[in-house]
Structure 1
Amino acid sequence: MLHLPALIIDLTLILGAAAAVTLIFKRLKQPVVLGYIIAGLIIGPSFNLFPTILETDSIKIWADIGVIFLLFGLGLEFSFKRLIKVGGVAIVTALTEVTLTMGVGFGLGRLLGWNTIDSLFLGGILAIASTTIIIRAFDELGVKNQKFASVVTGVLVIEDLVAVLLMVMLSTVAVSKTFAGGEMIMSVLKLAFFLVLWFVSGIFFLPTLLQKLRLLLNDETLLIVSLALCFLMVALATYVGFSPALGAFIMGSILAETTKAERIEHLLKSVKNLFGAIFFISVGMLIDPQMMVQYALPIFAATLVLLFAKPLFVVFGATLAGQPLRIAMQSGMSLSQIGEFSFIIAALGLSLNVTSSFLYPIAVAVSVITTFTTPYMIRLSEPVYKTIEGRLPQNIKNLLAKYSLGTQNISEVSDWKKVLRFYLINVIVFSVIIVFIIILSTKYLEPLFSGYEWSRVITVMVSLAVLAPFLWALAFRRTQRQAYANVWINPARRRPLIMLLFSRVLLAVFYIGFLFHRLFSPKIALMGVVVASIILLILSRRIKAFYGQIELRFLTNYHARETETDSKVIPTPWDTHITSFVLSPQSPYIGKTLFEARLREDFGINIAAIERGDLLINIPNRFEHLYPHDNLMVIGTDEQLNKFNKHLDDSVNETPTVDIKKHVALHQFTVGSRSPLISKSIRISKIRERSKGLVVGIERNGQRLLNPESDMLFEEDDKVWIVGNEKRIQILLKELAD
């Protein structure tokens, strides 16, 4: 009789339990992740009613693979472009919430008598909300198209990146057993160095590679290639001292910038679900009911932090970022749980043997409880807001409303700030590339020529040939030419600008000296720097042309995924926001003009744009007809959008972020005392014609008027909100300022 290996029997138990709980929890409309944890508890060593896993060590390896797939999938959904687009509101809210929650978690651990490392890991575990649970709850509750959902989604994006940073910092602290500031700073700088290096090199090489192999990439080969790249980055990250999970996340975020991202994500889904199930079941296997009873007090206290303190911190951060109280409270009560990243942080402590054994089961227990409470917290956010809002003094309400409106003012970035931003980005990116090439050449290239008489000279010549375009870019590259010209005209800014330009040249010379110093004596290095600098200056025109080809390749790859449907998160006035609806062929509005549809009159909404196949109609006029499958970019409040949604026979593509075209923007300006708009109506001022835009709101004497009539006259100090073509609006605002 054939003998089955114990691992196959264990997999039979795991997959059988996973299948059963999936069906049960789908029936109960509960998160499947929670079911996997319970399944792990049932087949784990703490529960003897059912067969138990035999080879727990092998299952832990499979679970580690599951972590890699989970982080790879999160990276595919993350992308660095999306990080740039989430906006200041999400950044301020997330950083405020994470910092305060970590502080409270650390304080709670110390209050319970835990050691410093356990308390620090508890803070990290409680700080990161669960993207999986929240997105699923939004789907089930039908709130994806509400404004607070976009804020929560942005916060989750920032939290993902913060979690990666936390893993590095906690590892450093755990290994050193101290809060050594120097070591933590070095770890963060090391992480930043490799993030820039991996991202730049990944964007330069991978899209080109995938494009050249496109005829060979069917579903099978694309899946294998993407997984090979994932595990290659896992190996690289581990080699330089980071966790395997970080490597998987980085490769996912790099591939997220390619045109194959959606296809890879689709192909990976089944594999990710399989190994993800094994990971979450292994989490459940580590639960010890006796330990949970023993540590009931910490579990209860940590749950209270998530249900009360963490929402309060989110409300504070969102309000600080300028969100209305209602949006802030809805966002806060949505982020009151922990999930996959918290498990990974807890598992990191165990793998490093620096945390106590009770911390992981506590994290699991708190996650199970808060997973159950998440839908109820989201539902209760509106009633809680109304209760608090009804009891707030009127002067506090006015103060919050004034502050919220003030923070939403969109001011143009000054030319000096543009120059400084370009300077920092340019110096950081090219310094990372240059330092990496120098280290690579002196550590690996020079030994290859060690048998030759002129080995060091050959190494320098090859290195300078590779470094030349990047040294030129560091010293002389300039993209913000108009900003530079405007700064140069200002005498007060001219001297600092000269110093910035000169410092870039000095930095390039320093790196040449750094290369020579690693290979020659100081005297020879000094002579080599002079000679090399002169040669590079003579060849600067050719070097510039070669660098232009490199930059063109990078920018082409970087923007390859961008189409006209790329989203851009933009601020909207008061409680309104932008979302999209696709008209079905059965919609009652098919064939009607916007004037006949009376969308503004019946629902109070405005149509910012219509996407029709490859055609994009920005700020359509009243005579524009509506056709089947038109994608309407609609601006309105949650109530107005929900009312409109109910009147559509079928609506899809409702997203929590703003699916508005990148050249459509919303701006706010104040009518000054000398403005030519004073005493003119919206129609007579011809704002629509001049800006290709639409006035969607006016605030006057504290009164907010959404969708003002075209015969309304402008008055001094009116705050006007206008949506339309970004460039045309900028021109209009400049004309009004003049």
Structure 2
Amino acid sequence: MQGILTQITALLGVTVGAALIAKFLRQPIIVAYIFAGIVAGPLFLNLVHGEREIFHIFSQLGVILLLFMIGLSLNFNYLRRIGKVAVAGGLAQVIFTGVIGMGILRAMGFAFMPALYLAVAITFSSTIIITKLLSDKKDTDSLYGRHTVGLMLVQDLVAVLLMVFLTAQGGSMTISSSLIRLALGGLVFIVGVTLLARYILPPILRRIADSKEFLFLFAIAWCFALAYAASRFGFSIEIGAVAAGLALGSSTYQPEISARITPLRDFFLIIFFVILGAEMSLAAASTVFLPSVILSLFILIGNPLILYVVYRLMKFSRRNSLMIGLTAAQVSEFGFVLLFIGRELGYVGESEIASFTMVALATIFVSSYLITHNGKIAGAVQNFLAKFSEENHPQREEKPPVYDAWVIGYHRIGWNIVQVLKEKKRSFAVIDFDPTVIEHLTKEGVPAYFLDVSDVGLLSELPLDRARLVISTIPDIQDQVTLLKHVRLHSAHTVIVANAPEAKFMRTLYEAGADYVMTPHLLGGKWIGHMISDGKASRAAFRKLKKEQQEEIRSGMPVQEL
């Protein structure tokens, strides 16, 4: 135990130092992680030793959680729309990149079988690198981001089929029987996940959603259970993690689950990228330098051009086609697995593995910049690309809805405000942390978001700053201060009404940015005072008000708060 703690402490110390330098130089943080791994690896400090298996488990956990969150951000309806495009684009890219890569390797003098394995290894882009950087840029939900993720999922499926083919070659099972077994397993897995997502998960989530800890624990357990199940059915754990996220992606509780898992994912992902850098083997680098440079240039320039042409033929805009191509300009960690299998079968030598290692290091390093700045690059070269093709297929991003008003908290005062907004036909949405409220409002057709307003990360996902009016009815003062400061940071014009259960909190809320603070007991006292001053405090008047109140209860007023 002492040894692993020492190694983790030293590893994190090197990583923090590299990250500080990268931040100071305004470089992609992922590059800092990889270089921290190189420094911590056997080439320099050799910090990762003795407990290598534990580090590999940590890094694998990060990959699973990352792809689980990618699945959370997608939804079945969108996947149905991009499915055909993803399959066509993925297969075309694998075929063209593999064939051209094979030609380049043969021209450089590689033997047929080593060239074949290396050509196939460079066709796959890194799902982990891409999804991590898209997530950091908040581009996962963009049009090009979703299609890139779809492309990666198709590549993962092709990789699974290749694994079946190769293991069948090296084992006793025939290729046809392996494929049949995989198809049957896939069918059972897909049907099982679909039935669970539709009939079992919703009632479970409704029962546990009021507990943040229980919701977090269930989501983690579900993620790893499906990753394990996928591996048992012959698929990769990555595909299982994405499927687990997809099953919860259409849930009302998706934002809260995502926010709880993000810090855990980030820690394990840091370990993954550091270990990736530590395992970069450059022992035979001098002998394969030229082939590695040529292959790296092909991946960084040729692969984006191939994808650009493929997606232009599928009627994508120049900008989106180019951004998809730039995002996929690196090789995948699967390439190492493929080459290791080839080495075991006697087709691949150490020189091919060393060459691929150099290509991986170069393309991951450069593509980190390409992905980070792909918007600027696409904008800079669009005029040049316009000389070769007209923009006949402009595409618009699917933007999240913008509401005129937001009501924070449905109970207490909120329900009445919602009724007025509905009567006035105003565009509005409700935020609440009660799953029964979300279910009720969803049935009523009211846009409702299940999230905790104390989480700034969740608030930043919503366009609160673009609303004219934000009304908070929740009783917690600190949560309201967080909300007020967040909205005020992004908008000075939004009108914000806060709620103080006691008059002593009014000053705190005004200082945080509220335009008006309502106090229910003071408002109630004023209302009764007006009734008396207007001469309406009679038994008949109160009998009429009582009748109206009873009608409001029958119409859906949350009586548990009365």
Q: TM-score, normalised to structure 2's length?
A: 0.62
Name 1:80's counterpart in structure 2. 76
Amino acid at match of 1:268: I
Name 2:176's counterpart in structure 1. 182
Name 1:60's counterpart in structure 2. 56
1:12-31 alignment, distance < 5 Å: 12-31=9-28
Distance 1:135 1:153 in 2: 11
Name 2:268's counterpart in structure 1. 275
Name 1:343's counterpart in structure 2. 333
Correspondence 1:173 to 2:132: no
Task: Give, in angstroms, the shift of residue 284 of structure 1.
Answer: 0.8
Distance 1:581 1:263 in 2: 19
Which range moved further: 67-76 or 37-46? Answer: 67-76
Do the aligned partners of 2:148 and 2:324 also contact (CA within 8 Å) in 1?
no
> Paired residue for 1:221, among 207, 214, 217?
214
Task: Give, in angstroms, the shift of residue 317 of structure 1.
Answer: 1.7
Task: Give, in angstroms, the shift of residue 41 of structure 1.
Answer: 0.7
Name 2:507's counterpart in structure 1. none
> Paired residue for 1:155, among 138, 147, 150?
147
Name 2:65's counterpart in structure 1. 69
1:113-512 alignment, distance < 5 Å: 113=110, 116=113, 119-120=116-117, 122-128=119-125, 133=130, 136=133, 150-177=142-169, 182=176, 185-186=179-180, 189-190=183-184, 192-211=186-205, 213-214=207-208, 218-324=211-317, 326-327=318-319, 330-331=322-323, 333-338=325-330, 342-347=332-337, 350=340, 353=344, 357-358=353-354, 359-360=356-357, 362-375=359-372, 378-390=375-387, 392=388, 400=390, 404=392
Task: Give, in angstroms, the shift of residue 273 of structure 1.
Answer: 1.0
Correspondence 1:100 to 2:93: no
Correspondence 1:32 to 2:24: no
- Aligned in 2, Cα 1:197/1:114: closer, same or farther, shift over 3 Å? farther
Task: Give, in angstroms, the shift of residue 313 of structure 1.
Answer: 1.6
- Aligned in 2, Cα 1:20/1:372: closer, same or farther, shift over 3 Å? same
Distance 1:381 1:193 in 2: 40
Task: Give, in angstroms, the shift of residue 172 of structure 1.
Answer: 0.9
Amino acid at match of 1:171: M
Distance 1:211 1:125 in 2: 42
Task: Give, in angstroms, the shift of residue 282 of structure 1.
Answer: 1.0
Amino acid at match of 1:193: L
Task: Give, in angstroms, the shift of residue 334 of structure 1.
Answer: 2.9
Do the aligned partners of 2:69 and 2:242 also contact (CA within 8 Å) in 1?
yes
3-state DSSP of counterpart to 1:213: helix
Amino acid at match of 1:14: L
Do the aligned partners of 2:22 and 2:32 also contact (CA within 8 Å) in 1?
yes
1:506-585 alignment, distance < 5 Å: 574=394, 579=399
Do the aligned partners of 2:67 and 2:242 also contact (CA within 8 Å) in 1?
yes
Distance 1:182 1:385 in 2: 46
Correspondence 1:10 to 2:30: no
Distance 1:59 1:367 in 2: 21
Task: Give, in angstroms, the shift of residue 64 of structure 1.
Answer: 2.8
Q: Percent identity?
A: 20
3-state DSSP of counterpart to 1:287: coil
Amino acid at match of 1:346: F
Task: Give, in angstroms, the shift of residue 34 of structure 1.
Answer: 1.8
Distance 1:174 1:367 in 2: 26
Q: TM-score, normalised to structure 1's length?
A: 0.49
Do the aligned partners of 1:64 and 1:279 also contact (CA within 8 Å) in 2?
yes
Task: Please give the per-residue CA displacement for 1:700-726, whole angstroms capped at 9, x wherever unaligned.
Answer: xxxxxxxxxxxxxxxxxxxxxxxxxxx
3-state DSSP of counterpart to 1:45: coil
Task: Give, in angstroms, the shift of residue 286 of structure 1.
Answer: 0.8
Task: Give, in angstroms, the shift of residue 118 of structure 1.
Answer: 7.0
Distance 1:174 1:264 in 2: 38
Distance 1:134 1:234 in 2: 17
Amino acid at match of 2:275: S
Q: Which runs of 5+ in 1 are unaligned?
A: 406-573, 586-608, 618-625, 631-647, 653-738
Task: Give, in angstroms, the shift of residue 348 of structure 1.
Answer: 6.2
Q: What is the root-mean-square deviation of aligned Cα atoms in Å?
A: 4.1
Task: Give, in angstroms, the shift of residue 283 of structure 1.
Answer: 0.7
Do the aligned partners of 2:226 and 2:240 also contact (CA within 8 Å) in 1?
yes
- Aligned in 2, Cα 1:61/1:150: closer, same or farther, shift over 3 Å? closer
- Aligned in 2, Cα 1:167/1:376: closer, same or farther, shift over 3 Å? same
- Aligned in 2, Cα 1:177/1:333: closer, same or farther, shift over 3 Å? same
Distance 2:115 2:492 in 1: 51
Task: Give, in angstroms, the shift of residue 316 of structure 1.
Answer: 1.6
Distance 1:183 1:117 in 2: 27
Amino acid at match of 1:158: G
Name 1:495's counterpart in structure 2. none
- Aligned in 2, Cα 1:167/1:379: closer, same or farther, shift over 3 Å? same
Task: Please give the per-residue CA displacement for 1:45-90, whole angstroms capped at 9, x wherever unaligned.
Answer: 1214x75544223322333333333332333234433312437656
- Aligned in 2, Cα 1:152/1:46: closer, same or farther, shift over 3 Å? same
Task: Give, in angstroms, the shift of residue 367 of structure 1.
Answer: 1.4
Distance 2:103 2:194 in 1: 39
Name 1:706's counterpart in structure 2. none
3-state DSSP of counterpart to 1:379: helix
3-state DSSP of counterpart to 2:284: helix
3-state DSSP of counterpart to 1:156: helix
Task: Please give the per-residue CA displacement for 1:382-416, whole angstroms capped at 9, x wherever unaligned.
Answer: 343313434x5xxxx5xx56xx46xxxxxxxxxxx
Do the aligned partners of 1:40 and 1:285 also contact (CA within 8 Å) in 2?
yes
- Aligned in 2, Cα 1:181/1:350: closer, same or farther, shift over 3 Å? closer
Name 1:427's counterpart in structure 2. none
Task: Please give the per-residue CA displacement for 1:484-524, whole angstroms capped at 9, x wherever unaligned.
Answer: xxxxxxxxxxxxxxxxxxxxxxxxxxxxxxxxxxxxxxxxx
3-state DSSP of counterpart to 2:208: coil
Do the aligned partners of 1:37 and 1:284 also contact (CA within 8 Å) in 2?
yes
- Aligned in 2, Cα 1:184/1:35: closer, same or farther, shift over 3 Å? farther
Amino acid at match of 2:154: V
Distance 1:61 1:351 in 2: 21
- Aligned in 2, Cα 1:375/1:255: closer, same or farther, shift over 3 Å? closer
Task: Please give the per-residue CA displacement for 1:152-199, whole angstroms capped at 9, x wherever unaligned.
Answer: 223213123213302311211221238986357436524541442233
3-state DSSP of counterpart to 1:613: strand
> Paired residue for 1:628, among 458, 464, 468?
468
Q: How many residues align?
A: 414
